[in-house]
Structure 1
C-alpha cells in the first residue's frame, strides 16, 4: 500500500495532470434550488424596469451590485453599460466566459401581470431579464465554491444585443482581455417546454438592402410590384400565430428539414422624406452565410429585369451580419454534463438554423470557441407560449432554476478540465 501511495505522489510530482473533477451536481442543484426565490425576484424587478439598447443603466447597476457583493472583481461601463465580473478560483485551471444580455425592446406589455413593465412602451419580450437573473445565479453558485473551483470564470453582462451593437462594443473595450477566456457559453430563452434545454443552436445572419425609386419609377404601383417580386425569394413565412410555433420547433429538430436551406425575406415599402421618391427596404436572412452573395446577385438581377438600368438606386449594407453558429466540439464537450443536469430525455438537439432571429453573440464566437444553449420556457398548461418577440411573451419562471443549474454545471465541468 505504501508503494502505491508513493507511486501516486511521484506521478503527481512529475507533472502528471490530475483527472478532471466531477461536476458537484448535487451541491449545485441544492444551491440553485435555494437561490430560486431570489432569482425570480431579480427577474421580476428587471421585468418591471426594462431598458432599451444603450440605456441599461439601472440593470447594469443591479448586476454590478450583486457581483460586487459576491466578491467578484467588477468592471463597469464596458461597451456602454456592460458589466464584467471576474471570479478567480482557488486552484489553477482554464478561463471560461459566460455571457448574458440585458436590454429590452419597444412594445406594450399586456395588462394585468403582477410583474408587468412600469415603463410605457418598453418591455422585456425576448427573455433578457431571465438571462440576467440566471447569469447572476451562476455567478452566485460558483462564487460559493471558489475555494474548490479551478481556473477563472468571466461573466459578461452585455448591453445592446437587440440592435446588434453591444457585443462588438464590449470586445472593443477589452472585455475578452486580461484574462483572455479559452471558451465562452451563453443561454437564450426559447419556446421549448420548460425543463428542456436544446444544444447546437445556430441563429441566422442578416443582410439588408434599400431600393430608392426615382423619376418615372417613383410610384406606389412600381413599389408594390417590386415588393411582391422580391418577396418571392423567401422560402419560409414568418411566424405570426401561436399555432405555427409547435410545427416550427419540430422542423428545426429534423435533419434535412425545411429550415436546412431556408431564406426569409421581409420586404417593406417605406415613406421617403422626398415626395418624388419611394423606398423599398428588404431584410434578408438565410440558413447559411454562404448564401448571401448569390442572394444579393439575385436581387440585383430581379430589379434590373423589372426596371432596366436607370431610375433607381440599389444599395446593400456594407457586409452581411454573421450568423451565430455554436461550435460543435464545445457543444459535444458539454453534452454529458448537460444531460446529467437536466436529464438525458430533456436535452434536445437542433439540426437547422433558427432563421427568424439574429444574435450578436456571433461576434464573441468569432473571437473564441463557444456555444449557446436554448432554454425551454414554455408551459402550454399555463398558457405560456414562450416565443421571444411575440407580443404576449412570458416565461415559466421554473426555467430560471433549470438554466442556473445547467449552466453552473457546464461551466464547472469545463473549468475542471486541465
Structure 2
C-alpha cells in the first residue's frame, strides 16, 4: 500500500522491542486453556441470543457483570450499548486496548445447531431472523476469556489494559452514528489514553489453530452509494412519451462495472463496486418517474477511493444526461481502511509466532471486506489479526461464507483467540523502554 499512511509511519522512531517473559507467556497459555469450556459456553449462549446493532442490552449486561466480578473498573452505555473494562496492572506502564464487537445480523439461521438462534425481529420494515453470522459471539466470549486470564496475572503487568466491547460493527440504521466511530467520538480511547489497540476476527475459511495478519492495508474501506435516477413517467405501452429511468439505471449499473475493469489500476490494489439494491416502479405497465440504486465501494488505497468516487459520479450523471434523465449521486463512507500500523505489526509479529507456532502464522493478502475497527486505528496504532475457525482438514470451498444462514465456527479455535489477545496485551506492556 503506497500512500501517506506508510510515509507518516516511516517518519516516526521504531517502537521498543518486546521483552521476552517466557514464564508469563506460559502462565497465560495455561490459563487460556483452563478457560476453554467456559468460553465455549459463553459463545454458545450469545449465539443462541443474538442482538442487532445498538440493541445488545442482554449481551452488554452479561459482559459488564463478568468484568465487575473480575474487579475491573466498568463503564456501560458507551456508544449506546458498549461496555468498557479497565484493568490496572501491578506496575506502571503504557495503556493497551483490546476490542471485541457484539452485534449480530438480520439473517435467519439454517445451521441446525443445538444452540441455533430462533430470534425473530423486523429490520427496515421486513420480518427476518437474527443470527451471529459473522462470529461476533465468539469475539465477545474470547475477550471475556482474555479479561479473566489477564486479571489473574495483573500483578505482573506493567501498565493498563482497556477492554472495549463494541456495539454495531455491522452498522447502524440509516442516518444513525454508531459502532467504533461513536465510541471514539465519546472518548473511549481516552481516560486513560490508549497507546495501542489490538483486535481479532474469527474466520470460517481459516483452519483452527492458525493466525493470519497483514501489515498496512488489511481490510478495505467501505462506502455506501445511492444513485437516484429521475426521468419522466408514462404508460408502458408508449415509452416514447417517457424518459425511462429503468433503462437508464440499467445502463448505469453496466457503466459502473467498467470503472473497475477499465479505469482502475488493479495492479496497485484491489477495488470493488457492487450494486446491491434497485428500487423503482409499482406496476408492470407503468414506466416510473424514479429508480434508486444502492451499492458499496471497496478500496484499499485512499487515492484510489477518491478516484472511484469521482468516476461513479461522472458515470452516473453523464449516462443519465445522455438519456434525458438526471442522476443524483450520494456517497457516504461507512468505514475507513483497516490499516495495521507497520511498526506495531513488526513489533508484535514475534508474539503471534510464539502463540500459534511459526508454521501456523501466515501473512495474508488484503481482504475487500470492511471493519470499523479502522476508526480506532485512525487515532492510535493498531493491529487486527484473523484467527482460524474452520474445522481441521476441511476444504475452505466447502464452508459457508460469513454473513450467510449456514455460517459455522468450530469452537475449538476459541482458546487460541483468548491466548492471542492476552499475550499481545502482556507482551506490549512488557516492551523494553
Q: Does the 8 A contact of 2:222 with 2:333 survive in 1?
A: no
Q: Which of 228, 238, 245 in structure 2 is aligned with 1:212?
A: 228
Query: Does 215-224 or 337-346 show the bigger shift?
Result: 215-224
Distance (Å, rounded) in 2 between the aligned partners of 1:322 and 1:92: 33
Distance (Å, rounded) in 2 between the aligned partners of 1:175 and 1:320: 19
For 1:100, the equivalent position in structure 2 comes to 100
For 2:160, the equivalent position in structure 1 comes to 152
Q: Which of 309, 327, 351 in structure 2 is aligned with 1:313?
A: 327
Q: Does the 8 A contact of 1:218 with 1:278 survive in 2?
A: no
Query: Does 370-379 or 304-313 show the bigger shift?
Result: 304-313
TM-score w.r.t. length of structure 2:
0.82
Q: Does the 8 A contact of 1:387 with 1:393 survive in 2?
A: yes
Does the alignment pair 1:411 with 2:410? no
Q: Does the 8 A contact of 2:352 with 2:420 survive in 1?
A: yes
- State the Cα deviation string for residues 107-153 of structure 1 (Å, max 9, x = none): 11115201111313000011101100110111111100011221100
Distance (Å, rounded) in 2 between the aligned partners of 1:280 and 1:118: 32
The correspondence of residues 122-201 of structure 1 with structure 2, limited to 5 A, is 122-163=130-171, 165-190=178-203, 191-200=205-214
- State the Cα deviation string for residues 145-193 of structure 1 (Å, max 9, x = none): 0112211000000001100621121122221121111100000112211
For 1:244, the equivalent position in structure 2 comes to none
Shift of 1:314: 2.3
SS at match of 1:261: coil
SS at match of 2:61: helix
For 1:377, the equivalent position in structure 2 comes to 389
Shift of 1:337: 1.4
Distance (Å, rounded) in 1 between the aligned partners of 2:202 and 2:260: 26
- CA RMSD, aligned part only? 2.4
Taking a change above 3 Å as real, the CA distance of residues 187 and 259 of structure 1, as seen in their structure-2 partners, is: farther
Query: Does 21-30 or 151-160 show the bigger shift?
Result: 21-30
For 1:54, the equivalent position in structure 2 comes to 54
Taking a change above 3 Å as real, the CA distance of residues 68 and 403 of structure 1, as seen in their structure-2 partners, is: same
SS at match of 1:114: coil
Q: Which of 300, 313, 334 in structure 1 is aligned with 2:348?
A: 334
Does the alignment pair 1:226 with 2:245? no
Does the alignment pair 1:365 with 2:377? yes
Shift of 1:306: 2.4
SS at match of 1:176: coil
Q: For this pair of structures, how many residues does the alignment match?
A: 379
Taking a change above 3 Å as real, the CA distance of residues 145 and 268 of structure 1, as seen in their structure-2 partners, is: closer
Distance (Å, rounded) in 1 between the aligned partners of 2:243 and 2:392: 49
Q: Does the 8 A contact of 1:235 with 1:263 survive in 2?
A: no
Q: Does the 8 A contact of 1:224 with 1:269 survive in 2?
A: no
TM-score w.r.t. length of structure 1:
0.85
Shift of 1:200: 1.7
Shift of 1:380: 5.8
For 1:4, the equivalent position in structure 2 comes to none
The correspondence of residues 1-150 of structure 1 with structure 2, limited to 5 A, is 20=19, 22-23=21-22, 24-120=24-120, 121-150=129-158
Shift of 1:415: 0.9
SS at match of 1:367: coil
Query: Does 179-188 or 167-176 show the bigger shift?
Result: 167-176
Distance (Å, rounded) in 2 between the aligned partners of 1:57 and 1:269: 31
Taking a change above 3 Å as real, the CA distance of residues 119 and 203 of structure 1, as seen in their structure-2 partners, is: same
Q: Does the 8 A contact of 1:33 with 1:401 survive in 2?
A: yes
Shift of 1:73: 0.6
Taking a change above 3 Å as real, the CA distance of residues 31 and 268 of structure 1, as seen in their structure-2 partners, is: closer
Taking a change above 3 Å as real, the CA distance of residues 349 and 385 of structure 1, as seen in their structure-2 partners, is: same
Distance (Å, rounded) in 2 between the aligned partners of 1:406 and 1:28: 9
For structure 1, list consecutive stretches of 5 or more residues without a partner in the other structure. 1-16, 237-257
Taking a change above 3 Å as real, the CA distance of residues 268 and 35 of structure 1, as seen in their structure-2 partners, is: closer
Taking a change above 3 Å as real, the CA distance of residues 95 and 273 of structure 1, as seen in their structure-2 partners, is: farther
For structure 2, list consecutive stretches of 5 or more residues without a partner in the other structure. 1-15, 121-128, 173-177, 233-241, 283-287
Distance (Å, rounded) in 1 between the aligned partners of 2:407 and 2:255: 33
Taking a change above 3 Å as real, the CA distance of residues 259 and 200 of structure 1, as seen in their structure-2 partners, is: farther
